[in-house]
Each structure stands twice: as structure tokens, then as C-alpha cells.
Amino acid sequence: MERANNHTFVICAYKESEFLEDCIQSLMNQTVKTNIIISTSTPNSYINNMAEKYKVPVFINKGKSGIGEDWNFGVSCTTTPLVTIAHQDDTYNKNYVEEIEKLYEKYSDFSIAFGNYRELKNNETIPITVNLKIKRFLLKSLLKNPYKKGNKMKTVKYGNAICCPAVTLNIDVVGKEPFITGYKSNLDWYTWYKFALLPNPFAYVDKELMQHRIHEESTTSSLIENNVRLDEDYDMFGKFWPKPIAKFIMRFYKKAVKTNG
């Protein structure tokens, strides 16, 4: 099997996720063999047992912990130019790394590279929602010109069209601390906005490369339940639009967010 020495999956493990093993297996079954590590700020025997079973090294964040801090710590533990933060509840198609490598060959200066995704509920892949159809529409212009600022901004100004666990970071461009901190829900959205301002392209392939799991115990579901995400969504829209327009967009955005419930 061909090996991608320039890519690493960082599994950000938290507490004891029943889906962690599925995630690990999907990463090990890639058509292009890659590097896999686990990073965590909540070390426990369950994570250690999974790591030992699959011979995956574990790195423990003993410093400040939070979503952004944990993701940045995971990135700091890698030595390759390409890094994918793999969320422990999600799974990746076997051709994920292969497709990312193709994008890297074509756009070696990309800040981020990614493809499409599907949603999992109750261990079943659900039909493509209206929300996902809109996201894919917003990404289409990247296929024509991934360098154009307007095309990149289109992926963030109407909402976050980019699925965080589907993204591979180019560390040579974005650095070892790529994620902003402070937000609980929208740190990825704000980070993509920051990258959209760079001259580097958003490399995108119009193929489904992973499955994003939605369940009651997920961080996203918890933040929606507590309205944290909606507050941060409004704050993000305010970076692109005057307040009246931001409020108008939020009317429709709230309905889309409910699909995560």
C-alpha cells in the first residue's frame, strides 16, 4: 500500500465515546496509508485501551483545555505538512487521504482542503438535507477558481458551508496553532473566515469523503440546546452583514440548525 508520509490524522478523543473505535478503523482502512495519533485532555483507560489495540500513540494535553486549545494541541503534536483533525464520532471513506493528496498535488499552497460529507443518525446515513444541498451549492464556485477571494468568502458569509472534520490543514501555510480560541461552537467558522482572507486557495473536491455523526451527546447538539451556537452564529453574521440583514438571515439559519436536533 502506498504511504502518505506528509499526512497525519489527529483523533481528538474526549472522555469515552462509543464511536471512537469506528473512527480509528475508518482511518486505518485508507487506500493510502497515513499517520494516526490520538490527542486528549481527558486521558482514561478506555482511550488507552483503544490506542493500544490499534497501536496508535496518545498525546495528553496537560495545558489549558478547550475545543480550540485541544485542536491546536493536537496539531502541535504532528510533524507532517498536512493534518486532519478527526472527530472521534465521525468516520472517513477509504479514499479520503487519496483525494486530499490529489488536491495537494494540484494546489500545494492551499490553506485547507476538503470534500463533501453525509450525516449519520442512529448509525444510518440519512438522505441529503436541504441544509447540505445549500452548503454544496455555496462550495461550487471553488471548483472554478479556489484562489478567488469572493469564492472563498461565499463559503462563510451565508453560514459555515465547510464541515470541520472534513478539512485537512496545510500547516506550512496556516501554522501550528491554526484555530482561533474563544468561541465554543464557531471557532472553525471564524478560522475559515481568517483563512479566506489569505491569498491561498480553498482546495475542494465535489465528492463525499466522510460521515459526520449527529447524536444527543455531541458537542454541537449540546451547544444548540443551550443556544450558545445561535448567539455565536449571530456574532459571525455580524462580521459580514449590517445588523438588520444579519437578523434577517438568522431567521432562516435557525431552521437549518434544527436539523442537528
Q: Hey, what domains does the chain have and what are their CATH numbers?
A: 3-260 (3.90.550.10)
148-178 pLDDT per residue, tens: 999 999 999 999 999 999 999 999 999 999 9
Amino acid 226: pLDDT: 53
pLDDT for 231 beyond 70: yes
Q: Take residue 124 and report the three cell numbers written for it.
A: 444510518
Task: Cell 447524536: give the residue.
Answer: 215
CA dihedral 136, 137, 142, 144 (to 10 degrees): 130
* Interatomic CA distance for residues 16 and 38, integer angstroms: 13
* Interatomic CA distance for residues 145 and 228, integer angstroms: 34
Residue 32's Cβ-count burial label (10 Å; 0-12, 13-18, 19+) is middle
* Interatomic CA distance for residues 204 and 112, integer angstroms: 8
Amino acid 252: pLDDT: 78
55: phi > 0 → left, psi -120 to 50 → alpha, else beta; which? Answer: left
Q: Which of 1-5, 57-61, 146-150 has the lowest mean pLDDT?
A: 1-5
* Interatomic CA distance for residues 95 and 97, integer angstroms: 6
